[in-house]
Amino acid sequence: MIRGSWASLRRLIEAEPGLLPLLGALLIFVGLGLAQALATPPLGSIDERVHFSYALEVRDGNLPEIETPVREEIVGLSPKKSRNTIWVSNHPPLFYAAQALAIGEVESEDDLPEAFFRGRLLSIVFTTAGLCFAYLCLRELFGPRSPLPALVIALVATVPHFTHIMSLIHNDTLAFLTGTAALYYAILLLTRGLDTRRYLGLLLATSGALACRISGLLVVVAGLTALVIACFRDVSGGWAR
């Protein structure tokens, strides 16, 4: 049984030579992300405090407005601090609904370290999945045997600013996941033609992007453009990769 498993694994690696480098790149990002999540104090970033406070509002069944004050009794913002309102409330609530589930109950400042860490873990999961979709996009464009996709993901995973932003509670993480997923399904439609699964994948990804950030509207436009081109080429007949 063990020999059979090793043989299957070897065949998989031979068929997908970029798989092991991809796993290595993902492990690097997860390791750096966890280090960042553990080392950054819960109240160390004004932007993260605002995203966190938005998630708390959603957890309580409220949708904040731009002038809704940050929960100073929980997050610890002083009235003298700049940006002491939930100025990110112009964004749709999908990311914050997911974060509300991960953060859980926050009754006092004693709950903050664990709550922030749980939220940051979810951000790392979102980003890791987004890196996988980015790899699939490059694999579709350059072929399964090209070393370029895994190399690009490894480079991205070690960019300090990327690792910092994507390991904290920022809606960029889910936007990255939905955006790369939409791009992947758009590429599939353009290179392989119309298919129900590809269409549904694009629909889910673009809907998620739109429900995460206002800029997701650009993802929707790009996805619709790819779909229109795919339909036109399908009607015209013939698909050339």
pLDDT at 105: 85
Residue 155 maps to a domain: yes
> Do 148 and 138 contact (CB within 8 A), yes or no?
yes
* Confidence at residue 78, expressed as pLDDT on a 0 to 100 scale: 45
What six digits make up the tokens of 55?
Answer: 């998630």
Report pLDDT digits (tens) over 68-123. 887 765 655 444 455 678 889 999 999 999 999 999 888 777 888 899 999 999 99
What pLDDT, on a 0 to 100 scale, did the predictor assign at position 233? 82
For residues 158 and 197, state if they share a domain. Answer: no
Beta-bridge partner residues of 69: 85
Going from the C-alpha of 136 to that of each of 10, 182, 193, 225, 230, the distances in angstroms are: 20, 11, 17, 20, 19
Q: What pLDDT score was predicted for residue 42?
A: 84
For residues 116 and 52, is the Cβ–Cβ distance under 8 A?
yes
Clarify whether residues 160 and 105 are in a common domain: yes
Cβ 117 vs Cβ 100: under 8 Å = no
pLDDT in tens, 128-180: 999 999 999 999 999 888 889 999 999 999 999 999 999 999 999 999 999 99
Is residue 76 domain-resident? yes
Token pair recorded at residue 35: 């280090």
Taking residues 181-201, report their average pLDDT.
Answer: 94
Q: Which residues contact 129 (CB under 8 A, 6 or more apart)?
A: 177
Amino acid type, 169: I
Please, what is the average pLDDT of the chain? 87
Q: Give the C-alpha separation, 29 to 153, whole Å.
A: 9
83 or 40, which is more confident:
40
What range defines the domain where residue 84 resides? 24-127+141-168
- pLDDT higher for 45 or 102? 102
- Asked if residue 54 belongs to a domain, the reply is yes
- Within a domain: 180: yes
Q: Helix, strand, or coil here: 107? A: coil
Shared domain for 108 and 80, answered yes or no, is yes
Tell whether 47 is covered by a domain. Answer: yes
C-alpha 60 chain-centroid distance: 24
For CA atoms 55, 57, 61, 64, give the dihedral sign.
Answer: negative
Both 121 and 232 in one domain: the answer is no
